[in-house]
Amino acid sequence: MQLYGKIEGDPVHGEGFYVSPTGLYKVKIPVLPQLGGTVTDTLNFVTFDDDFNLHINIGALPLSKELKADFDAKGPKDFLADFFRNLVMPDHARAFPGAQMEPNAIFMPKYHDGAILIFTLLPGGSAFENRVRISATSGPAVAKRGHLCFVQSGYVFIIWTELAERVLERSTYKKSAEEENTILRQRLMALVGNMQFFAPPPETKG
């Protein structure tokens, strides 16, 4: 499948980078092709998957004039929480009935000039559902995702990953909600630590 963005470096040896179609960022590719790692994208989103326990998405959505005014009026904490609640969660709810935000979002005022970490529970929303045997009585797993959101260079970045262990280990999985949140936070911040951000290209005038 052809990419909108491009690959630089050597992904086979863990030294590959994905460059977004907009040129806004590049990120070290977190999956290896020899482990079933794949990279798929659109103009605004990229997904990294492998055959084991990785499912990561990076989205970068441009701020319209209206959203920019809303951001300036509310500040990052309230803007990002409302953006996620009003524009992201409805899509999750349509795709996965019963989807919900956990009431324990974490705001980090000094991280990327204000970032929020939001946790969601998505019944039937796991990327790993087809990798485990589900009995007729157990039903689909409830996926847990961590979403890290911040504004950079006039775009809202939404970066999320699923806690694979919750689905793959099933009855042997014993992590508390607080432990889950710590794991997701660490993984997301490690991913962002492997990103480089650039100013958007100047607009061309016709």
CB 166 within 8 A of CB 144: yes
Strand partners, 7: 18
**Angstrom distance (rounded) from CA 159 to CA 190:** 12
CB 160 within 8 A of CB 147: yes
Q: Render 111-144 in DSSP notation, one character per residue.
A: GGGSEEEEEEEEET--TTGGGS---TTT-S-EEE
Predicted confidence at residue 140, as pLDDT, reads 77
| Neighbouring C-beta atoms of residue 80, cutoff 10 Å | 27
**Angstrom distance (rounded) from CA 86 to CA 103:** 15
Q: Render 1-64 in DSSP notation, one character per residue.
A: ---SSEEEEEGGGTEEEEE-TTSSEEEE--S-GGGT-EEEE-SSEEEEE-SSS-EEEEEEEEPP
Burial degree of 138 (CB within 10 A; 0-12, 13-18, 19+): exposed
| Neighbouring C-beta atoms of residue 139, cutoff 10 Å | 10
Q: Where are the domains of the chain?
A: 62-176
Q: Note down pLDDT in tens along the chain; length 206 residues.
A: 689 999 999 999 999 999 999 999 999 999 999 999 999 999 999 999 998 899 999 999 999 999 999 999 999 999 999 999 999 999 999 999 999 999 999 999 999 999 999 999 999 999 998 765 554 456 778 999 999 999 999 999 999 999 999 988 877 888 899 999 999 999 999 999 999 999 876 764 54
